[in-house]
Copies of this chain bind each other. A is one copy, B any other.
Amino acid sequence: MATIYDVARHAEVSVATVSRVLNGSSVDPAMAERVTQAVTALRYRPNLVARNLRTRRTRLWAVIISDVRNPFFTDMVRGIEDVASAEGYSVVLCNSDEDAAKEADYVDVALAERMAGVILSPSSGRTTHINSLVGAGCPVVLVDRELGGVRADAVLTDNEQGAALATRHLVEQGFERIACVTGPQEYSTAAQRLRGYRAALAEAGRDEDGSLVRFADFREPGGHAAMTSLLDSPMRPDAVFVANNLMTIGVLRCLAEHALSVPADVGVVGFDELPWAEFARPTITTVGQPTYDEGRAAAEALARRIGSPDTEPTRTVLSTSLHVRESSLRER
């Protein structure tokens, strides 16, 4: 099958010129004629470009993630890509870097470049720019984090269930002062994981001690700072549930710097799988999210939304699982 490169060679013009002709941009008429003849002679069927012209949308999906250095998001991207590719779309990733202004910029880009759809993991509680996107008729799926007041499909993890699994396990191991390092208050994931922690403590008949809760930033330095502050408090914890992977690294680093032993001095369970959990000293107990499946589900929701723009938004919630390793096992 002829490619755009074959057309360019046949017409003796550059690929960019062929592309300009196919997009209807201004090109020297003689050249344009040569390109049209080559397209006919080679029976070239432009896929991406032609479809673009018809629908005036590209064959691109924008995936706006809040932290490209967090393996949770990059694992999810693989699931998205596999579905996108089967549906004939290419995926471009945009890193909002947990910054609402950058996120709004990428939403503008998605609109300006007429992206076929957007999968977004919100970087704040702000909804104005996302509602503009939805209002402009761009298919949108929210992933990982929920946003009230946005009419869009959402694919989420059962954060409360996962946090409760982790906390219940620490209770069962006999830890007594179980702390929680969660994320920024405005993120649904942070709020839900805190709620799961509280529910498990309540279930065990324990009073929650507010001095054992820290709100951090879902990043390594924030986890480190939160653990430092917990160690400095009068009510020093003997265990900690950490609400994401990067903060877990910060907590472990802080404990190592204080020469505290895990789990003898402080037991640790982290939310999110860590690719190296089993190489760590000690191995790390984690709450695993089905990241790849979450990406697939989000992409499938986007494909459905593109196909039927007017149906009611859906909400998909996936379960987590607890992987018990050494960091949370009390020696008795």
Contacts and interface: CB of A to CB of B under 8 A. Distances in A.
A239 B249 CA distance: 29
Copies of this chain: 2
A95 B93 contact: yes
B68 A93 contact: yes
A72 to B, nearest CB: 11
A211 interface: no
Contacts of A56: 25
Given A16-B111, A276-B249, A94 B95 contact: no
Nearest to A280: B279
B68 A77 contact: yes
Interface residues of A, number: 56
A97 B81 contact: yes
A136 B25 contact: no
A69 interface: yes
Nearest to A106: B90
Interface in A64-85: 68-69, 71, 74-75, 77-78, 81
Contacts of A23: 112
A294 to B, nearest CB: 15
Contacts of A71: 69, 71
A311 interface: no
Contacts of A69: 71, 74-75, 78
A14 interface: yes
B90 A93 contact: no
B93 A92 contact: yes
Interface in A113-147: 113, 128-129, 132, 135-138
Contacts of A60: 109, 113
Contacts of A93: 68, 92-95
A302 interface: no
Interface string A14-48: 11100100010110000000000000000000001
A301 interface: no
A81 B95 contact: yes
Nearest to A75: B69
Nearest to A46: B112
Given A52-B112, A93-B92, A15 B280 contact: no
Given A92-B94, A256-B279, 19 more contacts: A16-B26, A62-B92, A68-B68, A68-B74, A68-B78, A69-B71, A69-B75, A71-B71, A77-B95, A81-B97, A90-B94, A91-B95, A92-B92, A92-B93, A113-B113, A249-B279, A276-B276, A276-B279, A280-B281
A-B pairs with lowest CB-CB distance, top 7: A16-B136, A281-B281, A92-B92, A93-B93, A276-B276, A279-B280, A69-B74
Interface of A: 4-5, 8, 14-16, 19, 23, 25-26, 48-49, 52, 56, 58, 60, 62, 68-69, 71, 74-75, 77-78, 81, 90-95, 97, 105-106, 108-109, 111-113, 128-129, 132, 135-138, 249, 252, 256, 274-276, 278-281
6 contacts: A58-B112, A71-B71, A90-B105, A91-B95, A93-B93, A281-B281
